[in-house]
Each structure stands twice: as structure tokens, then as C-alpha cells.
Amino acid sequence: PGNHREGTFIGQVLSVSDGVVTQKIHRDGRTVQHSASSLDKDVEPGQLVDIRYRGGRGLVHHQRISQGIGQG
């Protein structure tokens, strides 16, 4: 887990635990795991982020949420 070298992953951070960031990347609930040490910024659960890998390093871009997200 978390050994990505390339790609772009956009979605909400579900959890950060033991150096592993779990991110929801698809509406059907699929997730991807990132090694927190490979990311250039810290992330927290609940944040919507765009993580783009370049040279093995994950560049984190925080997304602005323009509308509220309904719970439930």
C-alpha cells in the first residue's frame, strides 16, 4: 500500500493511521492508500485533496469545496 510512482488521485481523505493515508477515489467507495511520508504536505481525515505523483513524490493540492456535502 502507498507505493505509488505515478498517477493522480482525487477524493476525500478517510483516515490517517500508522503513516498510511486512506483516500476515497471513486463514488462506489473504492479507496487508495498512500504512504504519508511520500506526500509533500500533511493531510487530515475529511479533507478533499488532489494527490499527483511526480518522480515518486505525492504533491498534495487541497480542493476548495464550493457546495456543502450532505451527510447520510
pLDDT over 80 at 37, yes or no = yes
- pLDDT for res 18: 96
pLDDT tops 70 at residue 2: no
Q: In this predicted model, which residue has the larger pLDDT, 3 or 9?
A: 9
Buried b (16+ CB within 10 A) or exposed e, 2-23: bebeeeebebbbeebeeeebbb
Distance between CA atoms of residues 65 and 63, nearest Å: 6
The percent of residues above 90 in pLDDT, for the chain, comes to 69
Provide the pLDDT confidence category of residue 72 given band limits of 50, 70 and 90. very low
